[in-house]
Every structure is written in C-alpha cells, then in structure tokens.
Chains A and B, each alone.
Chain A
Amino acid sequence: MMAVNLSSPHGAALEAAGEVAGRSLWQDAWRRLRANRAAVVSLIILAIIAVASIVGPYLLPWTYDEIDWDHIEALPPDFALGHYFGTDSLGRDLLARTLFGGRISLTVGILATFVALFIGVAVGAIAGFVGGKVDQVLMRFVDLMYSVPLTFFVIILMVLFGRNFILMFLAIGAVEWLTMARIVRGQTLALRGKEFIEAARASGGSTTAIILRHIVPNVLGVVMVYVTLTIPQVILLESFLSFLGLGVQEPMTSWGMLINDGAAELEINPRTLIIPAVFMTVTLFCFNFLGDGLRDALDPKDR
C-alpha cells in the first residue's frame, strides 16, 4: 500500500501535520485506559475506598481505638449508637477500624509495591541490558537475597532497630523487588537483541537513554500485571509481619489484622470477618482489573 506519492501538495500536507499534535505513548495509554470500562470503574471504586479510608475516620462518631464501655461484646449494626457496622468483641466500632485499617493496608500495599517496582525495574533493566560482569554481580546478589528466609530477615531487623513501622517497608521492599528484577531482566534480555535497540544505538543513544526510552516502556506492560499481583501479596505480608510484631500494633490495625482477628471469631461472629474481607477483596479485584487495563493500554497494538 502506498499512501503518498512524492509529488503530493507539500504545503497542504505540512499544514495537516501542524494540526496533528504529537502524542506520546503515555497520552495514548491514558486515552486507551479511559476507553476500558472495567479499568475506569475499578479506578473509581479504588478512589472511593481510598478517600473513605483517608477522611472517613474523622467523620464517624467513634474512633478506631475507642471502646464503647456499654457494649463490650460484638454488637450488631446499631444506627442509634453510631455503630453502622456494629462493633468487634472488645466493643470498638468496626467501620472505623476497617477504614483505618484500609489506610494502613493501602499505604503499605501501594508504597511498598512502588518501591519494589522502582528498584526491580532499575536493577533488572540494567542487569539485562548492560550484561557481563554487572549482570553477574546484580543477579547473584538477587539470588543471595532470595535465599535469606523472610522470618530470619525480619528478626535480624527487629534485633538491630527495634520495633518500627518503617522497618516493615524495608522488609517488604527487600523481598518484593527480587522477583520484579528477575522478570524485568528476562524481558530485557529478549529485547536487547532486537534490531530497534541496535537502531537506537546507531542513532546515538547512550545506554541510559536506551534503557529509559526503549527498554522500560517495552517491559512495562508485563511489569504492570506483576504489580497488580504484588499489591495483594504485600497486603497479606503486612498482616504476617504484624503478627510477628514488626508491623502495626494494637490498637492500630490493618485489613490483614482485622481478617486475622475475624477468622478467630468466625463461628460466633462472622460479621467481623466478612466486613474487612469484602473491603479487601473489592480492592484487590479493582487492582487486578486496573492492571489488566494498564497492560492493554500500554500496548499500541491493542486497539
């Protein structure tokens, strides 16, 4: 197919170009994401949950750690008292606790995942693209970190620094970026031999420019899917760390801890399990849809 012959009215064609604004991959991706209904709905639900978690606790009549001394038993939902979702077995408002837990879980989930994403992509892309000794050193370090059991690592951190909320990010980050780095390295190795990388080198691109301009956008689709799998993993890991005493401590809470507590009371009081579990499940679903949408949006071939 030949769309143009060389003798086309040049002026007109140039004018046409003037009207067409240059678009980047990101603008195109955003446009395509907005066309994906599942992704947009997910984004809206996530926004609602996030806003509710941030401002919700201030608007409720009870705070997350306040004990309703008149009802130190699991109270069913009672609108007159302001316990819209009832209370837990210690008489604390379940809605307030769920929203407060959402703050912790979402913060940890998103921040830790993005830290992992950043380090993982950087290490994986550099190792895969530069290759040779750099690759050897970086990937052996990843292997080394893999072989350290998480529990052991957490105990060392606690012995060294004591209990600390920040340490949790460190522990989670240290674990989650490893897989990311391996995935990105594998993808980069596959890309490295492609002709367009050679073309980029021939047109004067430095290693950094090629990694940023060509490698990262091309691995991002796969990485996005992995990110959406990592967020739930991190949220669950947080409850495990909290259980070990490294994460948040009572009376603070997180979704993972609420579900943990609720599971213990499943038979007498299923509500304490179901409510936080619904919040978490909806969130994770939304992240998955969003991740899928992002992957499709980042692939120009997918229309």
Chain B
Amino acid sequence: MSPPLLQVRDLRVHFPVRTGGVLFADYTPLKAVDGVSFDLAAGETLGIVGESGCGKSTLGRAVLQLLPPTSGAVAWLGTDVDLADKAALKARRRDMQVVFQDPLASLDPRMTAGAIIAEPLRNYHPELSSPDIKARVARMMEQVGLLPAMLNRYPHEFSGGQCQRIGIARAMILKPKLVVCDEPVSALDVSIRAQVINLLMDLQRELQLSMLFISHDLAVVRHISHRVMVLYLGKMMELADRDSLYRAPRHPYTRALMTAVPIPDPDQERAKPRAVTFGDLPSPLSPPSGCVFRTRCPKATAICAAAAPPLEAVAAGQLVACHHWRT
C-alpha cells in the first residue's frame, strides 16, 4: 500500500515565552502543540476542533512548515522534509496550501484580486506568459464563484465572503494535494458560511484534495470532515471517525464540547444532559499535571493528576486519551 499523503508523528511546537527575570529573562516553553500524531489519506478531510488557544492553528502552520516544529516529524508521501533545504521546501509547498481565517487580512491590500490569485502561479511557473496566467486566473475565479471581470478590484471592494473566495482561489490555483483551512468560515456571516463550506467540498471532490479543517464549530466540522481530532492544550484528546465521534464521544472533553452545541428546539435544549465543565481554560504556560483536562473534568480522580493518560484504541479507528473512558 502506498504511504498516506501526510504522516505526522509526535509533533511538538513549543514557544519560549518570557515569564520574568529583570536582566536575564526567564523563559518557559509554551507547549502549543504537544505530541500530536496522525495520518491523512489522499482525498480525506480531517477536522481539528478545540477551544481557541488549544493549538489548532499552530498545528496547521507546523504541518505547512510555516513554523519550525520543536520536535517530531511531518512526512509527506512517506518522505521527511529537510527544513534547511530551501528548494525542497519550496517544492513541497507547491502541494500544500492554506486558507486563512480573516479573509481581508490575508489579502495584500495593494494587490488586485487577479494579482493575488496569480501569485502562486508566478512563484511556481515563471515560464507562463501573462495571457496564460490571466486565463487560468479567470477560470479559477469562475470555479470559486467570482466574476472574472472583477479581477482588477482591490480586496476592500469585496465582501467578506468574496474575499474568502479569493483566498480559496489562491490556495487552489496550483491544484495542491493538501489544503489547510484555518477557521475559514468563522469570520464570515452565518448566511455565507454554508456557501463557502459547500464550495470547499465541491473543490475537494473536483481536485481530489486532502484537507485539514480547523474550526471550533462542531456542526461545521461534522458537515465537512471524514475524521475528527479533538485537541486540548496542545494534546490530542480523541481522534475518531466522524460518525463514531458524534454518535459515541468517549472523552469527557469531547462530550462537553458536544453539549455546548445548542439544539434548535428549546425544550430539547433544556432537557439535554450537561457534562458541565467548570472554570476557564488553564494557562497553557503551566498546564495541570497528569491529564491536562483534569481541572475541568467532571470524572477526574486521583490517577488523573498522577499520570497522563495514554492514547488508547477503544474501537476501530477511535483513539481516546482518558483513564476513565469506559464509564
């Protein structure tokens, strides 16, 4: 069997954060991503969920090599990449693209939509003539639902949804194999979200893309993902097929997230059982000992403080990191 498109093994990204010291700074590592492993097959969408600050975006950037990982490996089609090798890095970036959260901020205010979408082409195909580039940009704009006649407009002249379409067009024009979507719809109006999500799904089918879909919106993730990973303070809590995860979440944190999603019917909403989590996210600078979730976990016991729970396979394709997943 051919190796999966993307293999992430024990990935860690730690940022040194200055936590004191007057003359000589004291640094504490902020473990934004701490020991994450997963595989991604061609054409598959992996949803990554968690609260803000749990390391979702950092994970996406590390996979894209936009941030150097502290340790661990990101293998692409079975081969590891050498970050120091600029040419190899550039060649790999051709196949992985990103769609950002803030549609307007991710577009250069002084470039026209056409120039923005054409930029990856100019980087990777300097041999293309201007009419060729223009034709491909126009076709791409069609594909994402923008009028090609708008190619001379500047980002601020577009609505948020249209800006995101420009961002998507830029990510797709090289026909990449992997696209990391970093909260692509959370900055958009609710009415436009569905359109952008459907556009992403259509493009995925057409281009046979793999996607990492980062979001805190469980409903959106459920709609688009094949598998879902739940992150908490940089650690994997649960990784499972979408259906198993949404039908039978094992981890207390996943359950808490699920009950946090409101049900449209107020009677059902009031009646639903709550796996309440108390308190705020602990500081990622000093995560709790043992299981990082124990400060908010309704099922926490002594063992949770003593030892970090390992990731256990509880069912086919379902991994959970919890001492008490059985209950």
Contacts and interface: CB of A to CB of B under 8 A. Distances in A.
B260 to A, nearest CB: 28
Contacts of B105: 194-196
B159 A1 contact: yes
Contacts of B174: 203
Residue from B93, B110, B156, B162 with most neighbouring chain A CB atoms (10 Å) = B110
Interface residues of B, number: 53
B98 interface: yes
Given A17-B151, A199-B170, A200-B119, A23 B112 contact: yes
Contact of A20 (B109, B119, B146, B149): B149
Interface string B135-155: 000110110011111111010
Contacts of B2: none
B173 to A, nearest CB: 9
A80 interface: no
A16 B147 contact: yes
A160 interface: no
B159 A13 contact: no
Contact of B145 (A4, A17, A206): A4
Nearest to B170: A203
Contact of A204 (B124, B148, B154): B124
Contacts of B292: none
Given A22-B152, A300-B109, A13 B147 contact: yes
Contact of B154 (A1, A2, A13, A300): A300
Main secondary structure of the interface of B (DSSP, over half): helix
Contacts of B124: 204
Nearest to A198: B66
A209 interface: yes
A12 B276 CA distance: 55
Contacts of A206: 86, 90, 123
A15 to B, nearest CB: 9
Contacts, number: 131
B152 A204 contact: no
B142 A25 contact: no
B184 interface: no
Contacts of B115: 22, 24-25
B109 A13 contact: no
A219 to B, nearest CB: 10
A227 interface: no
Contact of B108 (A3, A23, A28, A196): A196
B81 to A, nearest CB: 14
A32 to B, nearest CB: 12
B97 A203 contact: yes
A201 to B, nearest CB: 6
B151 A22 contact: yes
Nearest to B94: A204
A17 B131 CA distance: 11
Interface in A1-45: 1-6, 8, 10, 13-14, 16-20, 22-25, 28
B134 interface: yes
B127 to A, nearest CB: 15
B109 A22 contact: no
B149 A5 contact: no
A225 interface: no
Across chains A and B, which 5 residue pairs bring their CB atoms closest together, nearest first? Answer: A17-B148, A204-B123, A300-B154, A203-B120, A16-B149
Interface of A: 1-6, 8, 10, 13-14, 16-20, 22-25, 28, 194-196, 198-206, 209, 213-214, 217-218, 298-301
